[in-house]
């Protein structure tokens, strides 16, 4: 995250090792449909996340885990 303003977050997304792309994340209206009250709130659509390399994650138990399979993993990349 580069800069946080009232209605937008300015950040960078890393697409590959050396390629980065600047993006703006706006606040979006959240309107709950399962409550008897009608209201709307503005919220940033972001979630806290952590990264962990494969070697460090071995033997750990995780409640929730996500894996990016956009690019194939190569063992040579670790050497």
pLDDT by 10-residue block (mean), the chain, 79 residues: 90 76 89 86 82 72 73 55
pLDDT for 79 equals 47
Q: What is the pLDDT of residue 76?
A: 52
User: What is the pLDDT, as a whole number, of residue 10?
Assistant: 92
Contact 42, 28 (CB under 8 A): yes
Spatial separation of the C-alpha atoms in residues 17 and 20, rounded to whole Å: 8
Q: What angle do CA 54, 77, 2 make, to 5 degrees?
A: 75
């Amino acid at each position: 995250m580069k800069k946080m303003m009232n209605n937008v977050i300015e950040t960078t997304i890393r697409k590959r090792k050396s390629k980065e792309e600047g993006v703006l994340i706006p606040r979006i209206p959240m309107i709950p449909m399962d409550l008897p009250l009608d209201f709307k709130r503005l919220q940033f659509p972001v979630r806290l996340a952590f990264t962990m390399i494969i070697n460090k994650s071995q033997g750990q138990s995780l409640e929730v885990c996500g894996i990016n399979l956009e690019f194939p993993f190569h063992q040579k990349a670790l050497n």
